[in-house]
Chain A
Amino acid sequence: AQSVTQPDIHITVSEGASLELRCNYSYGATPYLFWYVQSPGQGLQLLLKYFSGDTLVQGIKGFEAEFKRSQSSFNLRKPSVHWSDAAEYFCAVGAVKTSYDKVIFGPGTSLSVIP
């Protein structure tokens, strides 16, 4: 079965600064990879996903993520953060190769944005 870690529990950045949120996974093959965002009081919304092909994936709200097989990582980036990006971000790993596979969510990274 797969697993996923997000090393940073909380990150604070200034508005306009660049952002990178880290995600590492463990799986024996190429998994499906997702980033979700949860604004306060809301459900989780998909930002982007990777299944195959180009390892640099573009998502909504100006986010992108890069799949690096050699590092088992799928880090989320944004060149310029807006105050409205303050939220909880979840990396998730999915697979359907065995009957035990399903989507596993990381613990989340809380992002604060300083004006």
Chain B
Amino acid sequence: DAGVIQSPRHEVTEMGQEVTLRCKPISGHDYLFWYRQTMMRGLELLIYFNNNVPIDDSGMPEDRFSAKMPNASFSTLKIQPSEPRDSAVYFCASSEDRGNEQFFGPGTRLTVL
């Protein structure tokens, strides 16, 4: 298995633009997680899905952030409009169970100018 795949690996955009991050989980994993990592706040859980259904989005910072999982092999995290404070590394992870080990993707480094 190729592991969790994220794209793009790097994204540089200007304030106000829409940003879409993509994730392909490991096949057979029922849970998918989106995290944000910054120096100031560490690793934060934004949202997670079970069988394509959003279960807990309490970590989503504000309405500018949205996430979807249209099928078992694809998820997106969208920021619209983006702001400089959204600059961070965004990780996607998947697992067989919400309390079990998670497999992380390589992350997307987002820079909002």
- Shortest distance from the beta carbon of B25 to any chain A beta carbon, whole Å: 13
- Asked if B34 is at the interface of the complex by the 8 Å CB criterion, the answer is no
Q: A102-B48, A105-B43, A107-B42 are in contact. Are A44 and B104 (CB under 8 A)?
A: yes
From residue 76 to 97 of chain B, which have CB atoms closer than 8 A to chain A? 91, 93, 95, 97
Contact A43 B98 (CB under 8 A): no
Q: In the complex, A72 Cα to B56 Cα: how many Å?
A: 27
Q: Within 8 Å CB of A46, what residues of B?
A: 101, 103
CA distance A17 to B107 in the complex (A): 32
Number of interface residues of A (CB under 8 A): 19
- Can you pick out 7 interface pairs between chain A and chain B where the beta carbons lie within 8 Å of each other? A43-B104, A43-B107, A45-B104, A94-B98, A94-B100, A103-B102, A105-B45
Interface set of B (CB-CB < 8 Å, partner A): 4, 42-43, 45, 48, 56, 91, 93, 95, 97-107
Interfacial residues, chain A to chain B (CB-CB below 8 A): 32, 34, 36, 42-46, 49, 90, 94-96, 101-103, 105, 107-108
